[in-house]
Structure 1
């Protein structure tokens, strides 16, 4: 039924923004096709399949890898060539040979058996897919290269670098200067490796409202946003307009508040005082001996 499906659903060619959107449309067409009757047959496609399904062989227990394997070497730009396109990997892998599995809609890069990068597959020829996170270690040393980088442009296009990022960055540059403000933002971005993207954005927004243009402040607010999803919110009192300015918690105070209770007894220096008294007595005896 491939020809029937192509003629009825892919003519004219559907316009979609991504392969994921196209796959969702194909699944919807499949469900619609289940209710179709072929010619004058008494049962629908779904009913005939229900009769045939018990006669089919069972699926293999072990997963079958359908992707195509490549073993390219990472070039000096932190990219790997696959077919006619290039994809970024962490710059620490420059010069190493990695294992790439190319699927129909995505590409996965492995360093030995550890996944180090995952990209949506490029369809056009000669294109480049860059992940901003892969270049943070070099950009923090060269913040001047950050504003005009292709990785930043693609992060903007993909929605990973949001207007909240831009607003926090602008304020940081006003407060710390162009170079140091940009470096502060780059120090914030690795939080995305450990926290969900929406929590990092919430941390940036909270720090921006409070005027806290430091990576530590954003990290603290992002963790507080993550905890707020898992912990019940405390009962809040009435808010008085104008009397609740935005604040951020000091990182030092937050760490102290989250330390476990210290049940150890208080320290005592009494044994050391006894040693000091003995030393004074022995020194006095020694002086009396010399005098005699």
Structure 2
């Protein structure tokens, strides 16, 4: 603030924001001289806070809170302020044609950082550490930090996305980022911090543990853990719920290979995408054998049934020639 005038020292981010949307900044006078210039805005903010944020709403995420605020805002549009003859929405309908159109390109509100990936395949952003794929070790990446999450880019390609840590000196690791390294050193997998966090987040389920235990009994500690790594790598192409269903089916069948898990997971995905084929008297839960399915889909056969009458004539000739031969022997 410069003296008691309307002038302000604007930050670079605010200049970029108002330039993007074509906003002309105009500031109130500080102190008593400008108290009357912003009373209406502050009064309506107070009304909204008292009616919607008192008591403080309990939500599970910032996205949920934003959705609630949007619904409250839509409801307030039907309200009249004081004794005015029109609602807020009706007044806005008059003003809207006078406003400039919004720009086509969105404005990036996140803050940008360019940290270097350390030897643990992690980056540090605002005192907290986040994992990235191990292939990026030693490289510098671009991070866009938002209020509730952060996105990591290698050049222009998104390589990681994390929920933002609020406390200081925290660490958030993604198990998938370390799979290429762990498959070469499977002995480090059981004690990995990324595995512990995956369990806590529900991404590494009891089904994973059961399949892993059985794989180690059958294939041995090292090869069984490697087989699990191959299954986890499938998660890059197969949805998590389908992969867990494939693991459960393969475990019941005693098939402890990644190929079988992939096959069963794709069966689950196909069953969700396509309705089951049913025939007469067949329920969707019945098993249909392949030859039965093919027969059910063949067109009706309208040809007449085959006849063996011509072959009967051959049999009569054979009997007659046999009888003549026996009469010659008797003579």
Distance 1:126 1:11 in 2: 33
Unaligned runs of 5+ in 1: 245-292
User: Which of these residues, 87, 92, 108, is aligned with residue 44 of structure 1?
Assistant: 87
1:193 is aligned, of 233, 236, 239, to: 236
Structure possessing the higher relative contact order (Cα contacts under 8 Å, 6 or more residues apart):
1
Kindly provide the CA deviation profile for residues 142-195 of structure 1, in whole angstroms up to 9, marking residues without a partner as x. 223223322222222322222322222232233333333222212101111112
2:108 maps to which residue? 65
Cα shift at 1:91? 0.7
Counterparts in 2 of 1:62 and 1:220: CA distance versus 1, 3 Å: same
In structure 1, the residue matched to 2:200 is 157
1:11 positional shift: 4.2
Distance 1:26 1:167, change over 3 A: farther
Note the 1:1-292 alignment, pairs <5 A.
Answer: 1-235=44-278
Aligned residue pair count: 242
SS in 2 for 1:193: coil
TM-score when scaled to structure 1? Answer: 0.74
Change (3 A) 1:140 1:55: same
Q: 1:184 to 1:40 in 2, by over 3 A?
A: same
Equivalent residue number for residue 267 of structure 1: none
Gaps of 5+ in 2: 1-43, 288-331
How high is the TM-score relative to the length of structure 2? 0.66
Name the CA distance, whole Å, in 1 between partners of 2:62 and 2:200: 17
Alpha-carbon distance between aligned partners in 2 of 1:13 and 1:180, rounded to the nearest angstrom? 53
How far is the alpha carbon of 1:232 from its aligned partner?
4.1
The superposition leaves residues 60-102 of structure 1 with CA deviations (integer Å, 9 ceiling, x where unpaired) of 1222222111111001111111112121110110000011111
Q: Secondary structure at the match of 2:158?
A: strand
Quote the RMSD (CA, aligned, Å). 2.5
Find the residue that maps to 2:235 and give its secondary structure. helix
